[in-house]
Amino acid sequence: MYMVLNGRINKTTDRTRIGYLMNTDGAAAIVSEFLALFDRCGPEFLGDLVARLITLHKDDHVAIGNLKVAVDLAHDALGGRD
């Protein structure tokens, strides 16, 4: 599996583009690390994430329902604790 990440560097106009070659474990690690950013980045990150998920869903690159299932399963595995 190959994934390319790109974006601005520290809110500047400079941009970067980096590719990662990984297996499913590597992909899961990256996704979980990004989700962990919620607690550190605040509401701006949440807004950017929601906007990007909507775009990806509209372009048929991500199924929002599958993401919800994964989050719900993790929540249930923790006994419903936040």
pLDDT, residue 17, reads 93
pLDDT confidence band for 42 (50 / 70 / 90): confident
pLDDT at 21 over 80: yes
- The rounded distance, in Å, linking the Cα atoms of 8 and 69 is 30
Cα 36 to Cα 16, 29, 41, 43: the distances in Å are 22, 11, 9, 13
- What is the residue extent of each domain of the chain? 1-36, 40-82
pLDDT, residue 22, reads 94
- The rounded distance, in Å, linking the Cα atoms of 31 and 49 is 12
Residue 36 CB neighbour total at 10 angstroms: 10
